[in-house]
Amino acid sequence: MSQSYVIVGDGIAGASAAETLREEEPDADITIITDEGEPLYNRILIKEFAKGKLPEAPISIHDESWYDDRDVDLELDTLVTDIDPEGHTVTAHDGTEYDYDKLLLAVGGTPTQLPVENSDAEGIHHFWTFQDARDIKEHIEGADNSVVIGAGLLGIDLAAITAAQEVEGKYLMRGKAWWRYALSEEGAEIIHEALRERNVEPVFDSGVDHFEVDDDDRVTTAVDPNGDRYDADFVGIAIGLNFNTEILGGTDIEYDNGIYTDEFMRTNHDDIFAAGDITEFHDLILGDRAQNGAWGSAKEQGTIAAKNMVDYGSEEFRWVSSYSITHFDFPFLSFGHPTLGDDHVEAKYSDTEWRRLAIKDGKIVGGVLIGDLSPQTKYKKLMREQVDVSGQKEILVKQDFQLDDLEGAAAEQ
């Protein structure tokens, strides 16, 4: 009798799981349920569409024929509202029940709303889906001035979109640096200066107290906690994700900020797995729970989850993720968990070249490279192999660092 697999979510984690399941189980029943109205698209490229740099066509990855060709049932515009682990069913918003032998939850998150007055006014945008990108592009092409809130990896995308569309912008940040948990002020200043050159001005120790609107409820002004006012007929907000754990209500599936899984992507229920943004997985490299929904990480999680849904314990998730930014004249890359660690080391080599490594218990757990990305392979190798670099921090940030510069076991290649 063939197995029945249900996947909730058609992002890269869910889609890669479906593809792997079909390869592993040619006769299985596979169903993907998604609340979005279109099949898988490239979430990395939607910012390029919003910037006006790419048309729609290259953004789409799968059309509906991809699913038909692989005998995968795709349910669009369908929100799962209930899971019954004992009965092995999930229920959609319209009451439809789907039976499963094995279930994968790849439901991701929803942009966090800014809890201030008029934050739902017309002209205020969040940036997560392809439809969000379409709405942003349509609006910003007619905008005169903008405000961006959210000093992280999604916020910088919104700032870059305003710059590419040649709209004057203010980028409001709560601290004194962009992505202050991963970059020092010295490193972040490279980003700040690149923004200024593109007519987007970073504003530090700021944020939003409330928005003002006109008689048609369109945003006109952002007022920060200091009382400073910024004209804006376009506002972009990226202050994080609320992970879609409400789907777990009434179950005993274990979760906190995300769904707990082991290194095989299985939850505390033998027949329920999770992958992507929603997952707090056991990170074998970090030695702790971790959450990382970057594209490559989510894709691999989906693949590994599928293999273990077919044959549990067959392959563990062991991955060093990367995230790159291509908005500026210099490259930028983060890897691993650059905001974690109990120690760090950094160095600046020029106005557009800087590095920082995060270290925990004497081992590299993440880092950020600006300018020269060539050392990333060496740093990732040290991280994957959990090499102890205690007492050798300064060697790690030599501009021409080589693995054999390190003493002892760290020098083995």
What's the order of all strands across the beta sheet hosting 353-360? 322-325, 332-336, 363-370, 353-360, 343-350
Is position 369 within any domain? yes
**pLDDT over threshold 60, residue 411:** no
pLDDT at 128: 94
Is position 360 within any domain? yes
Backbone angles phi, psi at 211, to 5 degrees: -110, 150
> In 10 A of CB 89, how many CB atoms?
15
**8 Å CB contact between 146 and 140:** yes
**8 Å CB contact between 127 and 241:** no
C-alpha pair distances (Å), 292 with each of 257, 278, 283, 321, 341: 12, 9, 10, 8, 16
Is position 351 within any domain? yes
Q: For the segment 309-364, what is each residue's pLDDT rounded down to a tens digit?
A: 999 999 999 999 999 999 999 999 999 999 999 999 999 999 999 999 999 999 99
What does DSSP assign to residue 399? T
pLDDT at 293: 86
Between the two ends of the chain, the Cα-to-Cα distance in Å is 48
Same domain, 355 and 388: yes
Same domain, 297 and 335: no
Same domain, 229 and 251: no
Same domain, 151 and 68: no
Same domain, 298 and 371: no
Same domain, 264 and 201: no
CATH number at residue 347: 3.30.390.30
Query: Residue 77 belongs to what domain range?
Result: 4-110+241-310
Is position 324 within any domain? no
**pLDDT over threshold 70, residue 410:** no
Q: For the segment 188-211, what is each residue's pLDDT rounded down to a tens digit?
A: 999 999 999 999 999 999 999 999
CATH number at residue 227: 3.50.50.60
Is position 411 within any domain? no
Both tokens assigned to 189 = 């200043």
Same domain, 103 and 156: no
pLDDT at 83: 98
Domain boundary among 175, 203, 237: 237
pLDDT at 408: 59
Domain boundary among 189, 222, 237: 237
Q: What is the mean pLDDT of the segment spanning 8-17?
A: 98
**pLDDT over threshold 70, residue 219:** yes
Same domain, 221 and 275: no
Same domain, 164 and 233: yes
The CA distance from 361 to 254, in Å, is 28
Backbone angles phi, psi at 231, to 5 degrees: -65, 140
Q: For the segment 142-182, what is each residue's pLDDT rounded down to a tens digit?
A: 999 999 999 999 999 999 999 999 999 999 999 999 999 99
Is position 59 within any domain? yes
Is position 319 within any domain? no
Same domain, 94 and 139: no
**CA atoms within 13 A of residue 203's CA, in its CB half-sphere:** 23
| Number of separate domains in the chain | 3
Query: Mean pLDDT across the chain, nearest whole number?
Result: 96
pTM of this prediction?
0.94
Is position 320 within any domain? no
* CA gyration radius, the chain: 22
Same domain, 233 and 293: no
Same domain, 151 and 214: yes
**pLDDT over threshold 80, residue 21:** yes
- Total residue count of the chain as it appears in this document: 413
Backbone angles phi, psi at 114, to 5 degrees: -80, 120
Q: What is the mean pLDDT of the segment spanning 58-78?
A: 97
The CA distance from 374 to 366, in Å, is 15
